[in-house]
Structure 1
């Protein structure tokens, strides 16, 4: 996906020139795939440009979305994007680390595209370190925050590269969370998987079985969009 200064969707536009984390395909998949049905209160951890909050607001027509962002420039840019969207009355932004964030209510759904590199070399640009590395929010801290903020019957949806996703899955299961859905994302058939998108909840599943899905972005030719990907993003991407 091109790293332009803005990205136009069917119902909103995301300005991203001040954010280290740009609009990317995998984040769009998370926003379109996450289970946000029947949720009155939704939390977006690490809002960045506000992309996930905006996508969730489009998919859930009544829920109130709280979005937490630690980086000042990203926080202000998310505010601009939200204010210029049709959903501004239902999205509230908070300039805070999630470890310090408090709320008067528990959340029915949490969505997050967190800092994910646990061990890679750090960038000399600190803003990119915050956005991409678990420097300010490691797995244990993230799970602690989610446990504190999520309702007893709530679900959280999260995105990771494959290796970090497997590490997080192990940590979450050891902490008592139950995996209810898992989506493995491929560029196209024959390529290695590059992202895991997962939904967790507290309670055991009916029949003790979670749902596993796979989506390829492209057909084997590497340029034609796969129909499953088109169906998932058709309400958002201008090209579909």
Structure 2
């Protein structure tokens, strides 16, 4: 897969997210902020031939690269890439799955030169300004089909904030995978599945109740090799597994 025109390259977070998705017969998928197109391609691989995959990307060079990658794949007829910002994107129908590996780095509150050397494209790809959690959840709430799902990732440290932001749009966590780099490190990522539910659902569970059920994925074992759990999850997308 080509990625030379993209500010953000293919990364482990996206591979975990795409591998973890349960398509459950989805016929329509939207990848928001597709970058290289990796998640759109993974969704094409995981769904049947009748599923339509749409992808949007605000950066023109990245959108063209995602389009090129899709055209070189065997799913080219099922993937459409649009160079468009989320706030102006007007889909014709709702989606069974909306998926996104959104930018989630906040601007630093301390003096730093860390962001000064970033290209404008990489800065946009990493910072929340162009796709805030609120914008993502609001769009998903309006554009996910009945029974459909929003899949996304956010830092573990922002768990309470993210889940409360989703609740504001009546999106509830129905499953979550907590990710650690290795057995000695603290969790760094939450991989979410959100779905819309009525506020008065008797069987809806609180955030605290869900937190007790979150499984954990450790990427590397004590030998710094990929863990067996990581291999099982991502095997369909890693040739070396």
Tell me, yes or no, whether TM beats 0.5: yes
Query: 2-side partners of 1:71 and 1:165: how far apart?
Result: 28
Deviation at 1:165, TM superposition (A): 4.2
Query: 1-side partners of 2:192 and 2:80: how far apart?
Result: 25
**Contact 1:116–1:164 (CA under 8 A) maintained in structure 2:** no
* Number of residue-to-residue matches in the alignment: 226
Deviation at 1:153, TM superposition (A): 2.0
**Contact 2:53–2:78 (CA under 8 A) maintained in structure 1:** yes
Which SS does the other structure have where 2:163 is aligned?
Answer: helix
Structural mapping, 1:76-225, within 5 Å: 76-120=64-108, 122-123=115-116, 124-203=118-197, 207-208=203-204, 212-222=214-224, 224-225=225-226
Which SS does the other structure have where 1:194 is aligned?
Answer: strand
**Contact 2:106–2:127 (CA under 8 A) maintained in structure 1:** yes
Pick from 6, 15, 23 the counterpart of residue 28 of structure 1: 15
Query: 2-side partners of 1:104 and 1:212: how far apart?
Result: 35
**Contact 1:153–1:201 (CA under 8 A) maintained in structure 2:** yes
Deviation at 1:190, TM superposition (A): 1.9
Query: 1-side partners of 2:57 and 2:91: how far apart?
Result: 15
Query: Is 2:51 the counterpart of 1:57?
Result: no
Query: 2-side partners of 1:109 and 1:165: how far apart?
Result: 21
Unaligned runs of 5+ in 1: 1-13
Query: 2-side partners of 1:232 and 1:141: how far apart?
Result: 29
- Aligned-residue RMSD, C-alpha: 1.8
Query: 1-side partners of 2:236 and 2:163: how far apart?
Result: 30
Query: 2-side partners of 1:206 and 1:45: how far apart?
Result: 32
Deviation at 1:83, TM superposition (A): 0.5
Query: 1-side partners of 2:36 and 2:178: how far apart?
Result: 24
Unaligned runs of 5+ in 2: none
Query: 1-side partners of 2:48 and 2:103: how far apart?
Result: 28
Query: Is 2:31 the counterpart of 1:44?
Result: yes
Query: 2-side partners of 1:117 and 1:21: how far apart?
Result: 13
